[in-house]
Amino acid sequence: MDLTVLFFLTSGLFLGWSLGANDAANVFGTAVGTRMVKFTTAAIVCSIFVILGAVISGAGTTHTLGELGSINALAGAFMVALSAAGTVYMMTKWGLPVSTSQAVVGAIIGWNLFSDSVTDTSVLIKIFATWVACPLLAGLLAVSIFKLVEQFLGWGKFHLLRLDAYTRLALICAGAFGAYSLGANNIANVMGVFVPVSSFTDFEVADFFTLTSIQQLFLLGAIAIAVGVFTYSKKVMLTVGQDLLPLSPVAAWVVVISHSIVLFLFASEGLEYLLANNGLPTIPLVPVSSSQAVIGAVVGIGLMRGGREIRWQVLANIGGGWITTPVISAVVCFIALFFLQNVFNQQVYREVRYELSAPVLKKLSEHKIPIKALQELRGKSFNSGVQFLDALHAKRVLTDDEDRAALYYAQTGKFVVESEKIYLLDESWFTAAQMEAIRNLSARTFGYRWTLAEALANKTSEWRLKDNSKVNKLYNKDINRKLDYVYRTFSVNE
């Protein structure tokens, strides 16, 4: 692999280290702070399970960050990760359990502003909503679980020494679950921006299983998280475990298990599949803040006790960190991208062009989108999504959903289905019919993503999207993920 690629990946590893240093406190902070679990034991268990969670279940939340901003240059991904990591590191030095999710989202928005890329407000609102829902849900769960545990302990009448042993074991098990959930939910923060520009290729491990390019990225990021846990997480653990609210060992366990459940809910593709197949509303797969989940659980227990023991000044400092983190990260990223591009002559983004050609206008018309007022823009080329969107808004004829459709269909590119690249695809991810359709397009060139997608759908119905009902939501999501993989594989940068 090119040494330049490895160098640019170091910022992702730094971000992983920062996440481990900061967010391990959310998994084992209450256990270590109450002296029920030794720091070394907590660090070992946390490291093992965060790696397992990242590699096995880490793909679910990555897609959401990709919708917010698709970083299309390695140097840009490097600076996004570095800006987020620097912000988290600064907050960690101050002993504040900040949100790595917020730092990454802020950095992505900074890249969008610098590259003149469109920030999808619907995705941003969904992410903001989870930032509010996450601590509230954790607090409600903590109160409910705490009351159930109190009733169980009152019924069980355990001996003090036996209760102590059970509590220690329960804290370790809850921490393991929490670490797994942390890896599954937050690895997208660490390596998600590198997925569109990854140069890794799939390879088989001893003819036993295939490690995909994304899993290789996640494994590197998870190892960096583990190093952060061991080297720098103790100070933040004590902030969460001691400074905010004095906790009993049982309350500490409730906090950890509540936090872990919340992270799991926002990362579980299995749960999403179960809900969607039964026609129920699904929980968005978003990399939520483990810090917010823990603080929400701690405050929930504190309020249940009357709120007198909560150290409100500490809570205010933490809340201030949550508000300023995405802002600082966005500003730092924007300024750093300017220097990286103009001082060090690095390509931090690739220009994406948009054009309302005749085929695009025809496609928009098929979707019942009014194109009469757009005829003046026919044949014009725009150098960025923001420029194109401004031109559409000047016509004042399209809704937000129609704007998004126009952005999708008008985005130009070059996709060449080369036979050599077909062999690089992970065939185990596709059905036989889907792979055959790809092979049948060998040597063909496409100027838009959607024309490639339609060519595949014309070869087999297994590449076609279905109606947008709740039952078909996951099916369409799977097809779109496969299409993104195909686009990345056959894209040609001119």
Give the model confidence (pLDDT) of 90-144 as tens digits.
877 776 667 788 899 999 999 999 999 999 888 899 888 888 899 999 999 999 9
Residue 93: the pLDDT is 75
Q: How far apart are CA 126 and CA 107, in angstroms?
A: 17
Q: Residue 291: what are its φ and ψ, rounded to 5°?
A: -65, -45
For the chain, 494 residues long, give each residue's pLDDT as a single digit of tens.
556 777 878 888 888 888 787 777 678 876 777 788 888 898 899 899 999 988 887 766 666 777 788 888 889 989 999 999 888 888 777 766 677 888 999 999 999 999 999 998 888 998 888 888 999 999 999 999 999 999 998 887 888 888 888 888 998 999 899 899 888 888 878 887 777 666 666 666 666 666 777 778 888 888 998 888 888 777 666 665 555 567 788 888 898 899 889 988 888 777 777 777 777 777 888 888 887 888 899 899 989 988 887 878 878 887 888 888 899 999 999 999 999 999 999 999 999 999 999 999 999 999 899 888 888 899 899 999 999 999 999 988 889 889 999 999 999 999 999 999 998 787 878 999 999 999 999 999 999 999 999 999 999 999 999 887 666 777 888 898 899 889 988 998 76
Q: How far apart are CA 195 and CA 217, in angstroms?
A: 8
And the tokens for 342? 């103009």
Q: How far apart are CA 464 and CA 467, in angstroms?
A: 10
DSSP string, 230-272: HHH-HHHHHIIIIIS----HHHHHHHHHHHHHHHHHTT-HHHH
DSSP string, 195-239: GGG-----EEETTTEEE-HHHHHHHHHHHHHHHHHHHH-HHHHHI
pLDDT tens readout for residues 62-99: 667 777 888 888 899 899 999 998 888 887 777 666 77
Q: Which long-range contacts link 280-284 to residues 24+ away (Cβ below 8 Å)?
A: 280/470, 281/470, 282/470, 282/473, 284/64, 284/126, 284/130
- Pseudo-torsion of CA 98, 72, 474, 187, nearest 10°? -30
Residue 110 neighbours by CB distance under 10 Å: 27
List the beta bridge partners of residue 354: 382, 411
Q: How far apart are CA 331 and CA 346, in angstroms?
A: 19
Which residue has tokens 């799939």?
202
Of 139, 108, 49, 119, residue with least CA distance to 348: 108
Residue 245: the pLDDT is 65
Residue 65: the pLDDT is 74
Residue 428: the pLDDT is 78
Q: Which residues lie closer than 8 Å to 53 by C-beta, 6 or more apart?
A: 179, 180, 181, 182, 183, 184, 185, 187, 222
- Decide: 285 and 266 in contact? Cβ < 8 Å: yes
Angle made by CA atoms 85, 52, 192, in degrees to the nearest 5 = 35
Q: How far apart are CA 209 and CA 212, in angstroms?
A: 10
Q: Residue 385: what are its φ and ψ, rounded to 5°?
A: -65, -35
Q: How far apart are CA 267 and CA 182, in angstroms?
A: 9
Domain ranges of the chain: 3-342, 354-490
Q: Which residues lie closer than 8 Å to 415 by C-beta, 6 or more apart?
A: 445, 446, 447, 449, 452, 487, 490, 491, 492
